Structure 1
Amino acid sequence: MKAVTILLMALVVAISARCVRDNTTGQPGCKKQEELTQGVWRHNHDPTAYWECVKLNEPGVLKRCGSETAFHPTLLECVNWDEWEWEPSCAPISRPDN
């Protein structure tokens, strides 16, 4: 039982370490291939918007979900509001040069 508890705690720490709390809009710099591969990133202040990495080393482009939808940060797509869930905002891998 003790081993399971320790394992679960380690898993929580590992997952938490991936997310650095972010209070910006969340615009990615799209400076890493990982960002281009993922393609889209949540807008931290507007759930009806998201950022798209189109080209390496060019900041993410603002996009909007369709009517009656919001960007789901885990599914990485626009979903109906009844499917949308709030999640803590995490910093993108890189930031634009502003």
Structure 2
Amino acid sequence: MRKPQNWPRSKIKMHLEDAGWSLRRLSLAHGFSARVGSKALDGPLIPRMELIIAEVIGVEPQVIWPLYYPDGKRAPRSALEKHITPRRRRTNGDAL
């Protein structure tokens, strides 16, 4: 049996665009900063944004992020920390 996998960023973004949304616009429309939607795709840090994204796409969050919802319920953050994708910070020498 195959282990469940979270949807890739590209698939989530494609479904949002099909519904007429970008992550930025969706974040702003729900009172978040412009970058929250993108951060929601980096790991299980923003459950409320996951729910919003799933609602717009038209599926349950468990369908998009099965690793975050074992047994149908959201796992505690401590159990999910291994799924967080670290972001590389820019330094002064990095090109924009």
- Range into which the TM-score falls when normalised by the shorter chain: under 0.3
Mark the structure with the bigger radius of gyration.
1
Greater share of residues in strand: 1
TM-score, structure 2 as length reference: 0.26
TM-score, structure 1 as length reference: 0.26
Query: Which structure has more RCO (C-alpha within 8 Å, separation ≥ 6)?
Result: 1
